[in-house]
Amino acid sequence: MILKQRLMVCASVGLMAGATVPADAAPWVRGYVVGQYEYAFRYGGRPDYSKGAYVEPGVDCPRGSTVHLASPEQTKIAISRQKWRSSQEIDWITAPPGVEKVSTPGLTRRHIWARAMSYRGYARGIETYVNPWATDDPGQPQVTSRIGDGFNLDGKIKDNDFISPDGEKGIDNALYRAWGCDAPWRGGGNATLDLRANDKMQEGLYTMVVRVSGNKDPLNDDDAVLEIGYSPDNIVKDARGGIAADYSYRILKSAQYTKLKAKIKNGVVETEQAELHSPRIAWFYDQTGDTNFAQGKVRLNMSPDGLSATGMLGGYRNWRDLYAENTFAQDGGQQGTREHEDAVSLYYALRRNADGMLNPKTGRYDGISSAYRLKLSGAYVVDPDRPMEIPKLAQEEARKAAFEGIKQAVIRGADSRIPQDVPPGTTEASYPALEHEMDGLVSREYFLKILDRPHYADEDKKQAAPKQQVRNDAPVILAQDP
């Protein structure tokens, strides 16, 4: 009875929105709000493995997970690769003299490491994370398992393709091969960055909704439509912190929106392949935007009662975009010292595994096959009463513009092999946070002299530069829809 009422209400909403249906059809609509959204990486550890906070290497990552920049030893290895560094420089960066006597020794040490890690190029003065191609590949452990989630995007079965858990061959998910052993993205549903991104989404950073409609049986319809896009309405939670069912969300048909033809068999929705736009994984406002898949598609498994669904969306993404979205949400140094990953390694892993979007000018692939996992709760997905654009958060627009600027600098440098400067407005190279964190450090003047940093035209003005805040996990409140 509940399902019948939900379908009747959804159908009436569709008709009120202006939909027209044949007289002999039985129109239906099902709506969903996305509660979990993450890369479709398949953790290969034993289910009985328990060792505190450690993650087992697993059958997919027999060489282990990343440990880049997680300790003084790892830091020393990384900075010793630059032949232009002196032995004193290497030793003092690894163990800064007097750091134990400052008010925040851990934070000060981390900022010194981040600054040093940001300049590992073939010559001094080349910022590493904006120009990762200008330094050697530190090496990224890659997935070796043959089992992986995703889609057969190219219609071929190749030797290096994955096989899905249910036996489908030809699965293209090169992003999993490249990044599946990266520590903060690795885990059985509890990877650090997965948890962070889902938490921020659920707390109001952005909302993604899906609407499926047709004219036959909602569980079997060969002429259905799937819409996926951004909603300006925050996710509603229930008393236990879960995603509440049967709340209404508007879907915006402007940016981050796609409408696809679909077929449904036994509750499984399979869309056509086409250019696909939807909200991207993010944990800061800077990162929010369009996933922009080439040859994208969606697959959903809807529960019979319409109250939940699981599935995936995927396609080929520009691998430079993926690199920038992960690296510059904070800055490359913080990602390394906090998340225990090296963005330079991730850059080379993406470039090495790129497998789609062939660029005729360069003869190289600009895209990498990817799949994202979805968990959805039933909702009423409706059209707004008037056309709307995605709301903007005015006080964060400058940072978002800086994020887009640094992403474009990465692309220019990767294409031209000409080192790019760090655009203003970011915390890249831990600037100027390090300068403030070294207050009281006896070796401060030494580090100010030997550690490179970004330079800007107006930095010598008499007034002191404002202290930039290190990005943290504070909740983000979006501007209200007028």
The tens-digit pLDDT sequence of the chain (482 residues) is 344 445 544 544 444 444 444 445 589 999 999 999 999 998 775 555 555 444 555 778 888 888 888 889 999 999 999 999 999 999 999 999 999 999 999 999 999 999 999 999 999 999 999 999 999 999 999 999 899 999 999 999 999 999 998 999 999 999 999 999 998 998 767 888 999 999 999 999 999 999 999 999 999 999 999 999 999 999 999 999 999 999 999 999 999 999 999 999 999 999 999 999 999 999 999 999 999 999 999 999 999 999 999 999 999 999 999 999 999 988 899 888 888 899 999 999 999 999 999 999 999 999 999 999 999 999 999 999 999 999 999 999 999 999 999 999 999 999 999 999 999 988 899 988 899 999 999 999 999 999 999 988 877 654 344 444 444 443 333 333 33
**pLDDT tens digits along 422-442:** 999 888 999 888 999 999 999
Beta carbons of 119 and 454 less than 8 angstroms apart: no
**Domain match, 209 and 355 both:** yes
**Domain match, 174 and 323 both:** yes
- Is 386 within a domain? yes
**Domain match, 295 and 431 both:** no
Among residues 391, 418, 435, the one where a domain terminates is 391
Dist CA 142 CA 140 (whole Å): 6
Residue 240, C-beta contacts closer than 8 angstroms, at least 6 positions apart: none
Beta carbons of 98 and 88 less than 8 angstroms apart: no
**Domain match, 124 and 8 both:** no
The conformational region for residue 200 under phi > 0 = left, psi -120 to 50 = alpha, else beta, is alpha
Task: Give residue 25's pLDDT.
Answer: 57
- Is 57 within a domain? no
Residue 429, C-beta contacts closer than 8 angstroms, at least 6 positions apart: 114, 115, 118, 119, 127, 129, 331, 333, 422, 452, 453, 454
- Is 327 within a domain? yes
- Is 481 within a domain? no
User: Which is nearest to 229 in space by CA: 33, 480, 28?
Assistant: 33
**Domain match, 187 and 131 both:** no
**Domain match, 159 and 285 both:** yes
**Domain match, 134 and 268 both:** no
**pLDDT tens digits along 364-378:** 999 999 999 999 999
Dist CA 38 CA 187 (whole Å): 12
**Domain match, 145 and 132 both:** no
Query: Is the preceding peptide bond at 432 cis, omega within 30 degrees of 0?
Result: yes
- Is 472 within a domain? no
The pTM assigned to this predicted structure is 0.88
**Domain match, 281 and 406 both:** no
- Is 228 within a domain? yes
**Domain match, 36 and 148 both:** yes
**Domain match, 102 and 217 both:** no
- Is 480 within a domain? no
Number of domains in the chain: 2
Range of the domain at 198: 2-47+140-391
- Is 455 within a domain? no
